[in-house]
Amino acid sequence: MKNIIITGCCGFIGYHTALKFLNDKKYKIIGIDNLNNYYDIKLKQSRLKLLNQYSNFHFKKIDITNYKKLFNLVKNLKIDYIIHLAAQAGVRNSIKFPNQYFTSNIQGFHNILEISKFKKINHLLFASTSSVYGNSSKFPLKENYNTDRPNSFYAASKKSNEITAYSYSRIHKIPTTGLRFFTVYGPYGRPDMSLFKFTKRILENKPIDLYNKGKHERDFTYVEDVANIIYAISKKIPRKPTFYRILNIASSRPIKLKRFLSIIEKNTNKKFKIKLLPLQVGDVKKTHASNYELLKLIKYKNFTTIEKGVKNFVQWYKSYYKIK
Ligand SMILES: NC(=O)c1ccc[n+]([C@@H]2O[C@H](COP(=O)([O-])OP(=O)(O)OC[C@H]3O[C@@H](n4cnc5c(N)ncnc54)[C@H](O)[C@@H]3O)[C@@H](O)[C@H]2O)c1
Could you state, in order of their start, the residue ranges of all structural domains in the chain?
2-185+220-249, 194-217+254-286+305-320
Q: Which helix (H) or strand (E) holds 116?
A: helix 108-119
Residues 6+ apart with CB under 8 A from 35: 10, 41, 44, 45, 48, 61
| C-alpha to C-alpha distance for 225 and 185, rounded to whole angstroms | 10
pLDDT in tens, 49-60: 999 999 999 999
User: Going by CA atoms, what residue is nearest to atom 11 of ligand 1?
Assistant: 85
Could you tell me the distance, in angstroms and rounded to a whole number, from the CA of residue 189 to the centre of ligand 1?
A: 11
Mean pLDDT of the 178-198 span: 97
Mean pLDDT check: name the lowest of 22-26, 271-275, 276-280.
276-280
Closest alpha carbon to 230 in 154, 161, 298, 313? 298
For ligand 1, residues with CB inside 6 Å are: 8, 10-14, 33-36, 44, 63-65, 85-89, 104, 108, 127, 129, 181, 183-184, 190
Residue 158 alpha carbon, nearest atom of ligand 1: 43
Q: What is the pLDDT of residue 65?
A: 98
Q: What is the pLDDT of residue 241?
A: 84
pLDDT at residue 143 above 80? yes
Could you tell me the distance, in angstroms and rounded to a whole number, from the CA of residue 8 to the centre of ligand 1?
A: 6
Could you tell me the distance, in angstroms and rounded to a whole number, from the CA of residue 248 to the centre of ligand 1?
A: 17
Pocket test for ligand 1, best of 85, 157, 161 (most atoms within 8 A of CB): 85
**pTM of model > 0.95:** yes
Mean pLDDT of the 281-303 span: 91
3-state SS of 279-322 is: CCCCCCCECCECCHHHHHHHCCCCCCCHHHHHHHHHHHHHHHCC
Q: What is the pLDDT of residue 85?
A: 98
Could you tell me the distance, in angstroms and rounded to a whole number, from the CA of residue 91 to the centre of ligand 1?
A: 12
Pick the CATH number of 2-185+220-249 from 3.30.465.10, 3.40.50.10310, 3.40.50.720, 3.40.50.300: 3.40.50.720
156-165: burial string, b at 16+ Cβ within 10 Å, e else? bbbbbbbeeb
pLDDT in tens, 189-207: 999 999 999 999 999 999 9
Give the residue numbers marked as catalytic.
154
Pick the CATH number of 194-217+254-286+305-320 from 3.30.70.1560, 3.20.20.120, 3.90.25.10, 3.30.499.10: 3.90.25.10
Q: What is the pLDDT of residue 284?
A: 80
Query: Average per-residue pLDDT in the chain?
Result: 96
Q: What is the pLDDT of residue 213?
A: 85
pLDDT in tens, 38-92: 999 999 999 999 999 999 999 999 999 999 999 999 999 999 999 999 999 998 8
| C-alpha to C-alpha distance for 105 and 257, rounded to whole angstroms | 29
